[in-house]
Amino acid sequence: MFLPQEIIRKKRDNQELTAREIAWFVEGITSDSISEAQIAALTMAVFLNGMTRDECVALTLSMRDSGRTMDWSQLDLPGPIIDKHSTGGVGDTVSLMLGPMFAACGGFNPMISGRGLGHTGGTLDKLGSIPGYNPFPTPEQLSQAVREAGTAIIGQTGDLAPADKRIYATRDVTASVESIPLITASILSKKLAAGLDALVMDVKVGSGAFMATPERSRELAESIVAVGTGAGLNISALLTDMSQSLAPCAGNALEVRCALDYLTGVARPERLHAVVMALCVEGLLAGNLAATRQEAETMLLRSLDSGAAAERFARMVSILGGPGDLLENPDAHLASAPVVKDILIPREGYLTAFDTRALGFAVVALGGGRLRSDQMIDPAVGLTDICELGAPVKEGDLLLRVHARSDEDYRKVLPMIHEAVTITQDPPVPQELVQGRIVGT
């Protein structure tokens, strides 16, 4: 028998908690025998003093075991369960392509995704712009989608890692969200509950990233890989650039259209394609579906060029309630904004920097995102044709195109967008798209 205040005191005094102490505390969170004040006290102690890898592994596994864990063995799937998680950004529509590409290469991808909050877009919001798509299917529908489409992008239900939900709610109101051990446990507990064999992490770096500095992004990636490895997961992480929108668009239906164009070969923007391929290669290697990077790249390009990946996406959408002809008739199903206006480059020079976070908040201001979890969003609004960093520009060139519900909304975001852009007379130093790779030891 443990006392919660003694566990809190121990971590407050920077002592290492045992796996049994952590498991007991998390069980109390799940059963409501631990109070909000006690959760807040322990999370603040962790925020201030950190956790060892063994502590964080114990916390992750206890949070995973606080609810249901998915078991895919009854489906007798002929390939590994592979997933990817991103720390979030602007124009990050990778998940919509990655799942179908994994599936077309022999993997299976039940992906638990979330809604957007703050400046970052959410995969569930993007899929929510597809009429009829149900991100909370019955177990039978989910099994059918995973078995037949090879991918199913769904939302987190209350019975998956329920301790995480209660812990996060407390962290959110007590200024302990940024704790790397708590972020690590939150991400991995949900991924492990999904029954994965392999996971690739996409940790963003730059002005639109969740973490404030490149050093903090790397620290988070190293923590997730170390703890995931300690929990028995085959895992690697890439540090990828978020100094500008990943896709040349941001907004829910707009990003779905971008993903459809990518899968069908209509358009594959260079930066987006490079990150999609890098993450997919990591996933195929982690899932032992390819022996070399070159073999993985060949498999992935074949999945795109043959139409196999696009067909997997279409099948997933249809099984989960969406239209059966989305690939063929996207304009018939995806909402479009009534006001579409250009914002032009104000002077000659080089586009040197974007405040990508500010661009994300411009999408929120248009109605395409949320600052509170209870806010409704407009799927049609957002930004397209976003000019790339480093481009030589002259006065009157297109900076980006705004898709708005009204002229008033368009005028509202004009100053936000102008202030987010830096134009200089000298070209910027180009940023590497993939700025690091971290693997388990």
Task: Return d(Cα 48, Cα 337) in angstroms, integer.
Answer: 46
Phi/psi at 13 (nearest 5 deg)?
-90, 15
Determine contact, residues 235/191, Cβ cutoff 8 Å: no
Strand segments, DSSP code E, in 74-188 are: 82-86, 109-113, 151-155
Let me know if 186 is a catalytic residue.
yes
**Active-site residue, from 95, 123, 243, 384:** 123
Phi/psi at 140 (nearest 5 deg)?
-70, -45
CB atoms within 10 A of CB 430: 9
Determine contact, residues 417/399, Cβ cutoff 8 Å: yes
198-205 vs 82-86, strand pairing mode:
parallel
Let me know if 165 is a catalytic residue.
no
Let me know if 113 is a catalytic residue.
no
**Active-site residue, from 11, 64, 85, 119:** 85
Q: Taking Cα atoms as reference points, which of 371, 402, 362, 403 lies closest to residue 129?
A: 403
**Active-site residue, from 64, 119, 166, 190:** 190
Count, in order, helices (H) and strands (E) of the chain. 17, 12
**Active-site residue, from 62, 66, 86, 264:** 86
**Active-site residue, from 84, 115, 119, 312:** 84
Let me know if 191 is a catalytic residue.
yes
**Active-site residue, from 65, 83, 125, 378:** 83
**Active-site residue, from 119, 171, 204, 315:** 171
Let me know if 83 is a catalytic residue.
yes
Task: Return d(Cα 193, Cα 173) in angstroms, integer.
Answer: 26
Q: Given strand 82-86, what is the order of strands in its sheet?
A: 82-86, 198-205, 234-241, 434-439
CB atoms within 10 A of CB 287: 26
Let me know if 257 is a catalytic residue.
no
Q: Taking Cα atoms as reference points, which of 62, 61, 65, 58 lies closest to residue 19?
A: 58
Strand segments, DSSP code E, in 213-297 are: 234-241
**Active-site residue, from 186, 217, 223, 264:** 186
Determine contact, residues 155/136, Cβ cutoff 8 Å: yes
Residue 105 token pair: 């290469």
DSSP 115-142: --BTTB--HHHHHHTSTT--SS--HHHH
Let me know if 53 is a catalytic residue.
no
Q: Taking Cα atoms as reference points, which of 91, 354, 391 lies closest to residue 207?
A: 354
Instruction: Give me the active site residues, please.
Output: 83-86, 123, 171, 186, 190-191
